[in-house]
């Protein structure tokens, strides 16, 4: 599943081909995604793109008359291709640019979304989202205050979009390992110092991942569009039974809120 660093990598990859360029029209081969592709997107004609932004895991294309909101779902990806490139079976949406490029959306499982909205503040998908993890609003004081009344384990709590956006399963597991905090600790048992370290770690882990995703940008025009996070060395995620790189203890896994958590029982307390 694309996580925040991959979405940010996609944003950086498509921005030069979209911002300041004009969408001639959209080609929607299959509108049946998680929700139907908005009519306004199917009807687009000659619309300049003002900016390409991101909120949580949503990509936001700012046009003069409104916003295209794109979510990659479980298996979606975006590529910029020459318009003559033939579309494949899972290529559901194209934005055809005046420049001769197309922004092509591929999604085998079709859990993604292409929505239109005139006013971002009124968008139901963006309402109630917590702060961006890389913003100043996501601070030790903020997270400490939010944690005081929460007895639930810290790992699923961190993955709640109302607390902070974009900390998915991989990055929650990895950040708790780096911060040395057990995923099973009740959120309100963490000290201010532990929360401060966790906030710093989440920012560092996400930033490093975005930077590594950035190294795949030169492949962006190629047809495989590989996600950045597979390239990086993960400490605990997906490593159950393998040895902790720090202490040599076997990495354990457990289920929390229907998601698999990976951790080192020695390094994380
Ligand atoms: Zn360890």
Residues β-bridged to residue 58: 55, 71
- Provide, for the chain, the percentages of residues in helix, strand and coil under a 3-state DSSP scheme, each rounded to the nearest 5: 30, 25, 45
Distance 33 CA to ligand 1 centre (A): 42
269 annotated active-site: no
Distance 54 CA to ligand 1 centre (A): 35
Distance 210 CA to ligand 1 centre (A): 25
Percentage with pLDDT > 90 across the chain: 86
**Does residue 131 lie within any of the structural domains?**
no
186 annotated active-site: no
User: Choosing from 2, 5, 153, 183, which is the catalytic residue?
Assistant: 2
More confident residue, 139 or 234: 139
* Alpha carbon distance 92, 107 (integer Å): 7
Could you tell me the pLDDT band of residue 1, with boundaries at 50, 70 and 90? confident
Distance 265 CA to ligand 1 centre (A): 7
**Last residue of some domain: 73, 90, 122?**
122
Give residue-wise pLDDT tens across range 87-96. 999 999 999 9
Residue corresponding to tokens 């591929």: 106
Could you tell me the pLDDT band of residue 59, with boundaries at 50, 70 and 90? very high
Distance 244 CA to ligand 1 centre (A): 5
Q: What is the pLDDT of residue 214?
A: 54
Residues 144 and 85 in one domain: no
Radius of gyration of the chain (CA): 20
Q: What is the mean pLDDT of the chain?
A: 92
Q: Which residues are CB-contacts of 258 (< 8 A; sequence separation ≥ 6)?
A: none
Distance 182 CA to ligand 1 centre (A): 11
For 168-200, give one letter per residue: b (16+ CB within 10 A) or e. Answer: bbbbbbbbbbbbbbbbebebeebeeebbbbbbe
User: Choosing from 11, 54, 57, 155, which is the catalytic residue?
Assistant: 57
3 annotated active-site: yes
Residues 72 and 152 in one domain: no
**Does residue 132 lie within any of the structural domains?**
no
Residues 149 and 220 in one domain: yes
* Alpha carbon distance 57, 168 (integer Å): 10
2 annotated active-site: yes
Could you tell me the pLDDT band of residue 218, with boundaries at 50, 70 and 90? very low
Q: Which residues are CB-contacts of 240 (< 8 A; sequence separation ≥ 6)?
A: 250, 251, 252, 253, 262
Q: Which helix (H) or strand (E) holds 58?
A: strand 58-63
**Does residue 252 lie within any of the structural domains?**
yes
Distance 34 CA to ligand 1 centre (A): 40
User: Choosing from 29, 150, 226, 259, which is the catalytic residue?
Assistant: 259
Q: What is the dihedral of CA 81, 83, 88, 92, to 10 degrees?
A: 90
Residues 172 and 227 in one domain: yes
Flag whether pLDDT at 82 surpasses 80: yes
Give residue-wise pLDDT tens across range 11-46. 999 999 999 999 999 999 999 999 999 999 999 999
Among the listed ranges 184-198, 216-230, 237-251, which one has the minimum average pLDDT value? Answer: 216-230
Residues 179 and 236 in one domain: yes
Residue corresponding to tokens 């990509």: 59
CA angle at residue 121 from 32 to 24, to 5 degrees? 50
pTM above 0.95, yes or no: no
Query: Is 21:99 a contact under the CB 8 Å cutoff?
Result: yes
Could you tell me the pLDDT band of residue 203, with boundaries at 50, 70 and 90? very high
CATH number of the structural domain spanning residue 229: 1.10.8.50
Among the listed ranges 154-163, 172-181, 204-213, 225-234, which one has the minimum average pLDDT value? Answer: 225-234
Query: How many domains does the structure of the chain reveal?
Result: 2
CATH number of the structural domain spanning residue 50: 3.20.190.10
Residues 209 and 144 in one domain: yes
- In terms of residue numbers, what domain contains 40? 4-122
């Amino acid at each position: 599943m694309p996580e925040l660093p991959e979405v940010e990598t996609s944003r950086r990859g498509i921005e030069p081909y979209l911002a300041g360029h004009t969408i001639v029209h959209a080609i929607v081969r299959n509108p049946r995604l998680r929700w139907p592709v908005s009519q306004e997107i199917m009807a687009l004609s000659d619309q300049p793109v003002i900016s390409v932004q991101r909120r949580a895991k949503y990509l936001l294309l700012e046009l003069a008359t409104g916003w295209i909101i794109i979510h990659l779902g479980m298996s979606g990806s975006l590529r910029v291709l020459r318009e003559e490139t033939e579309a494949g079976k899972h290529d559901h949406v194209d934005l055809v640019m005046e420049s001769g490029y197309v922004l092509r959306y591929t999604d085998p499982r079709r859990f993604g979304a292409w929505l239109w909205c005139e006013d971002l503040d009124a968008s139901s998908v963006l309402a109630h989202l917590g702060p961006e993890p890389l913003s100043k609003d996501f601070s030790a004081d903020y997270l400490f205050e939010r944690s005081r009344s929460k007895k639930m384990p810290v790992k699923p709590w961190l993955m709640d979009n109302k607390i902070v956006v974009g900390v998915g399963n991989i990055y929650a597991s990895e950040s708790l390992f780096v911060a040395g905090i057990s995923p099973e600790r009740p959120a309100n048992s963490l000290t201010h110092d532990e929360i401060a370290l966790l906030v710093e770690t989440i920012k560092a882990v996400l930033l490093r991942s975005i930077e590594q995703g950035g190294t795949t940008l030169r492949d962006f025009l190629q047809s495989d569009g590989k996600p950045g996070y597979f390239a990086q060395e993960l400490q605990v995620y997906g490593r159950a039974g393998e040895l902790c790189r720090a202490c040599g203890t076997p990495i354990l896994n457990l289920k929390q809120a229907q998601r698999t958590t990976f951790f080192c029982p020695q390094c994380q307390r």
